[in-house]
Amino acid sequence: MKHWSTRLVAILALSFTMAQSHPAFAAPAKCNAELRKCNSHCNFVYESKRASRVCRDRCKDAFYACKARPS
């Protein structure tokens, strides 16, 4: 049982560290949902790699703009 609780604490510590260090993990859920929806749209609509990449870049721009908005 001791190993189970040690693993749980390690997972919680790792997730907290990632949320602090990487901005995408600390973003509000609404922004993450918008990014997933936008990326899904890009993958579904555009067939060429270039067009899909440009669309995903716009998604990233919108994601960072969403994060910058006051809550």
**Statement: residue 4 has pLDDT above 80:** no
**Statement: residue 61 has pLDDT above 70:** yes
**Statement: residue 1 has pLDDT above 60:** no
Contacts (Cβ under 8 Å, ≥6 apart) of 28: 66, 67, 71
Q: How confident is the model over 47-51, as a mean pLDDT?
A: 92
pTM summary value: 0.60
**Statement: residue 31 has pLDDT above 80:** yes
Burial (CB < 10 A; 0-12, 13-18, 19+), residue 34, is middle
Give residue 24's domain range: 2-68
Q: How confident is the model over 23-43, as a mean pLDDT?
A: 85
Look at the chain and report how many structural domains it folds into. 1
Residue 38 Cα distances to 3, 16, 64, 69, angstroms: 41, 26, 13, 18
